[in-house]
Amino acid sequence: MARKKSRSLESQAKSYARKGYSAAKKALAGVGTTELISLLPWIAGGIAVWWAYTKLAGGQAGFDLVEGGNVTLPPNLPRPDYVYADIADRQYNAMNMWFTDEESLFAALEGLNKQELIAVASKFGKRASTISLFPGTQQSISFPRSLTEWYDSELSGSDRDRMKAIWFGTGLY
C-alpha cells in the first residue's frame, strides 16, 4: 500500500511539473532573446536584494526578534522578574517607532537602582528593529542590538548624556 501511495504522489508531482513547464512555455512564447536578456539584470538584482534581505534582516515573519543577551540577571531583586521584562518591553516600544519617545524611556527608568537597571538590560537581551508590513506580522529590519546599542542609535545630545548618567553605576553604558 505504501509503495502504491508513493508512486501516486510521484506521478502527481510529475504531472504538476509538466503543467508548470507548459504554462511557462506559453507565457514566454513570442518573447525574443533580446527581451529576455534585457530583463536579466533586473532579475539578478531582485535575487540579490532578496538574498541580502533574508541573510541580514531575517526576511520573514516569525524571525527570532529577541536573542539572548550577555547580561546576567542579578540575584535578590526587590520585584518579580516580569516587572523588569515589562520595563524592557516599554524601552523597546519607545524606540521601535518612527520617532523615539524619549520621555517614556526616562520615565520607565526613574527610581530604579543599579541592580534593577541591570535586570532591565538582562530582560531586554538583544532585539532587532521591526516593521509591520501586514497586520499580525513583524519583519526584522536590523541586526539584534542590546539596550545600550539601541540608546546609541536612537538618542543624541543631552538625551544621550542623560541616559548615560542614569546607567553610570552599572558599568553597562
Those residues whose C-beta lies under 8 Å from the C-beta of residue 127, and which sit 6 or more positions away, are: 65, 66, 67, 92, 96, 144, 145, 150
Q: CATH top-level class for 66-170?
A: mainly alpha
Q: Per-residue confidence at 11, pLDDT binned at 50, 70, 90?
A: confident
pLDDT in tens, 41-83: 888 888 877 666 655 554 443 344 444 567 888 888 999 999 9
Residue 107 is predicted with a pLDDT of: 94
Pairing status of strand 139-140 against strand 130-131: antiparallel
State pTM to two decimals.
0.58
Give residue limits of the domains in the chain. 32-60, 66-170
Q: What are phi and psi of 90, to 5 degrees?
A: -65, -35
Residue 98 is predicted with a pLDDT of: 79
